[in-house]
Amino acid sequence: MNKRLFFLFIVFGIIYANAQVGINTENPQGALHIDPKKDTNGSTGTGDDVIVTESGNVGIGTITPQTKLVVTDGATSTKPKSVLKIVDGNQSNEKVLTSIDNNGNAKWQDLPDAFTLGQAFGLTTFPAQKFPYTGEVISNFSFTVTIPGYYAFEIRWWAKYLEVGYTGGAGVGLSTATHFYLLKNGVMVDEFEGYTNVNLIDSNSVTMFVPLYSDAVAGDVFTLKVRPGYSPEQAGFETNTNSSTPWTNAKVLILLMDLN
């Protein structure tokens, strides 16, 4: 008799261990299945259901969650719905839920720069500054990356060169080779060498377009260095040499590139 009871206890224990619990449903589809409206029939009527599958996935509005948590309310691209609400006291319009530590804790925060490929960042006007032939970093330019990606630095260069040797021709001065360096965290990652004649008629001026490129991760700091060629040995530029031609300001435009 005792052996029979022991056997029955084992059988019922196995049945209980493998049982599925259903609330408002006689046909639970997971370890725990709640059907508030009692209207689930196969794959229909699941919009109000809550389920915990045998693999530990949780579904709200679905009985077939494929990840640890799936929340749905029948939303489509033409009929979007709000299916998630997280209140931490910082929530407001256009904020994003952002990780604040290495443990995965998050809170609502302003996003400094929206992740938009092709996005143009601030346009920087360079100050008046002299550059020796040994080269010098542009004094007021520094760009810290907040969004990882591939960046373009487009420089519209206008410079007034101070030492120019006349070689003949209608106002054409010595040809100059000006070097531009893109530094990431103090290390050169790209360079451009521009060749052009010096305009003696317009205050010994030089104009050119300079493209520089580099990939970057958040926290990288970019700076720019300029080194005039051997002739002239020293050069400089002013931001408003001729107020009637505002294009004579040297500037840099930074773009986050889409290379996909």
189 Cα distance to chain centroid: 20
Indicate the average pLDDT of the chain. 79
**pLDDT mean over 136-148:** 88
Q: Domain ranges for the chain, please list them.
A: 1-75, 85-111, 124-257
Is 177:233 a contact under the CB 8 Å cutoff? no
What backbone phi and psi angles, to 5 degrees, belong to 246? -65, -15
Beta strands in 138-186 (DSSP E): 143-144, 149-161, 172-184
Put simply, whether the predicted model's pTM sits higher than 0.75 gets the answer no
Terminal Cα-to-Cα distance of the chain (whole angstroms): 75
Classify residue 139 as left (phi > 0), alpha (psi -120 to 50) or beta: alpha
Q: Helix, strand, or coil here: 133? A: coil
- Report CA-CA distances (Å) from 48 to 15, 61, 70: 28, 5, 13
Is 178:206 a contact under the CB 8 Å cutoff? yes
Q: What is the per-residue pLDDT for 35?
A: 93
Q: What is the per-residue pLDDT for 244?
A: 44
**Residues facing 97 on adjacent strands:** 108
What backbone phi and psi angles, to 5 degrees, belong to 8? -65, -40
pLDDT digits (tens, 9 = 90+) for 100-122: 888 889 889 876 554 455 577 77
pLDDT at 124 over 80: yes
Domain covering 124-257 assigned CATH 3.40.50.1000 in the classification: no
Q: Helix, strand, or coil here: 115? A: coil
Q: Given pLDDT bands bounded at 50, 70 and 90, which one contains residue 166?
A: very low
- Higher-pLDDT residue of 181 and 79 is 181
pLDDT digits (tens, 9 = 90+) for 27-45: 899 999 999 999 999 889 9
